Amino acid sequence: MNLEEAFEIDKVFCLNLARRPDRWLPVSRKIKANGFMSVERFDAIDGHTLKGSDLSKLSVRAIYELTEPRHVHEALGSLGAVGCYLSWMSILQTIVENGYKRVIVFEDDIIFVHNFVNKILFYYRELPKDCDMWMFGYYNRDDFPAANTTHVICKGKYWGNFGCMITLDGAKKILKTALPIEMHFDSYVARLASICPNVKIYFTKESLVTCDKNLWSDISTPIIVQSLKESRPGHSTSAPYFSVSSLFSYFSDFFRCKLV
């Protein structure tokens, strides 16, 4: 079953870092096996290679929170999280610039539930017509109010953007207030939908996708580390690490240039 034709999709993207080619081949096969045959790799932005022009998109609060352990879910906590946010912004900008009506987006650690194709077809038939963003799943979420018998509408917090459909109107709405960056992208989208009644984000009542917890998250490498030799399963130690002092020095130099 070709879900791209059934859902009238213009593009199917999968976010993947250039330094993680090990993930692309298996995830692309997985996505194709679940009905999206024309999936394309979308070059994700690596938070560990950000330049000053990228970091100028953060609020002062977000910059300060990068130097502290992540204490709540929405706190960035890592440059990888900044790269993830910018990657999703790049997806949205691509949708708007090309006038794509509907785009499917996956992250490269996605897992599909059994019988995904039949289940997503069932939910699609009941998808509200005013949908801006259609979420296929989540890691966790608040108890959202029902939109109909098969979907809930985002009014509160959720965790995880593993797989979704974004419309052109939705991309425009989300981009409008996306800067400055203050929190994780999923937290920003959840708060936007909660306070703006014209932003319609729907979740299938049943989570149809989630993340592979056996893969180390590329957004979870903390700024503060005890050892440069620390290794984790599936995580490359070649990505740069930052101490508190070096990070403050970096940002101090950046702000000195901006404020002169």
Q: What is the pLDDT along the chain (260 residues), one digit of tens a residue?
A: 899 999 999 999 999 999 999 999 999 999 999 999 999 999 999 988 888 778 889 998 898 888 777 788 889 888 889 999 999 999 999 999 999 999 999 999 999 999 999 999 999 999 999 999 999 988 888 999 999 999 999 999 998 899 999 999 999 999 999 999 999 999 999 999 999 999 999 999 999 999 987 776 666 555 443 333 333 444 444 444 444 455 556 566 555 555 54
Sheet strand arrangement including 11-16: 40-43, 11-16, 102-107, 163-167, 133-135, 201-204, 151-153
CATH number reported for the structural domain that contains residue 78 in this entry: 3.90.550
Dist CA 14 CA 110 (whole Å):
10
| Helix locations, 107-158, DSSP H | 116-124
CA atoms 213, 219, 225, 227: torsion sign: positive
The burial class, CB within 10 Å (0-12 / 13-18 / 19+), for 74 is buried
Dist CA 101 CA 90 (whole Å):
16
Number of folded domains that form the chain: 1
Domain range holding 189?
A: 3-259
The whole-number pLDDT of residue 70 equals: 79
What DSSP string describes 150-200?
SEEE--S-EE--SEEEEEHHHHHHHHHT--SB-S-HHHHHHHHHHH-TT--
Angle between helices 79-98 and 185-195 (to 10 degrees): 60
Angle at Cα 148 formed by Cα 144 and Cα 150, nearest 5°? Answer: 85
Run of H or E including 141: strand 140-141
- Tokens 């002092």 locate to 245
The whole-number pLDDT of residue 241 equals: 44
User: Does the pTM of the predicted model rise above 0.95?
Assistant: no
